[in-house]
Amino acid sequence: MKNKINLRFGVLAGIVGLATVARLGTPSLLGHPSNFAPIGALALFSGCYFSGRFSKFLVPLLAVWVGDLFVNFMYTGKWMFFYEGFYWQYACYILFVVMGSALSKRVRPLNVMGSSLAASSIFFVISNFGVWTSGLIYPMTAAGLAACYTAAIPFFGGTLAGDLFYASAMFGLFELAQRKYTVLALQTRA
């Protein structure tokens, strides 16, 4: 049983690792479509498939953090352990892990797509609220909040496309792998 769990963990970690690498390679390969990234999908996927509570949260947060180190270096030329306001985004990822956990007993294409759409929308609302509360770009008024959300609309399409694409790829790949290699399945789904 332990070898089965180690194999499953290894395959899951490999998929998360590929998603992390894809996040770093997407800007250079595709000219960086704004916000087209696997981060939301990665958190949903981890919440759904990792069996331990510790790994459900640690694996995606560590993957995002490592990716952030490199992405921030690519754009600023400096290594930053955390960027200003990171906690708004990381709170979203924690919420997505919880959403993924709820999805684990009913992994179906429509449920995965619905969860991805919800994750993209939640990220839009929370992360841009965080930008507004910083007071650095927009005034702390209702008009400032509206301006913040309006300015962020063009980026929502990339977030949504990235979440849908990567969720389809990650969930689809692992579901197919579980069907072909039953040793990867922890238990029979209801």
pLDDT of residue 20: 78
**Contact assessment for residue 95 and residue 44, using Cβ atoms and an 8 Å cutoff:** no
Neighbouring CB atoms inside 10 A of 31's CB total 7
**Contact assessment for residue 101 and residue 52, using Cβ atoms and an 8 Å cutoff:** no
Query: Tens of pLDDT along the chain (190 residues)?
Result: 566 567 888 888 888 888 877 777 665 555 556 788 888 999 999 999 988 888 899 988 988 898 888 888 877 888 989 888 889 999 999 999 999 999 988 999 999 999 999 999 999 999 999 999 998 899 999 999 999 999 999 999 999 999 999 999 999 999 999 888 888 887 544 3
The reported pTM is: 0.86
Nearby residues of 125 by Cβ (< 8 Å), 6 or more positions away:
none
Sketch the domain layout of the chain as residue ranges: 2-184
Q: Which residues of 93-126 are buried (b: 16+ CB within 10 A; e: fewer)?
A: bebbbebbbebeeebeeeebeebbebbbebbbee
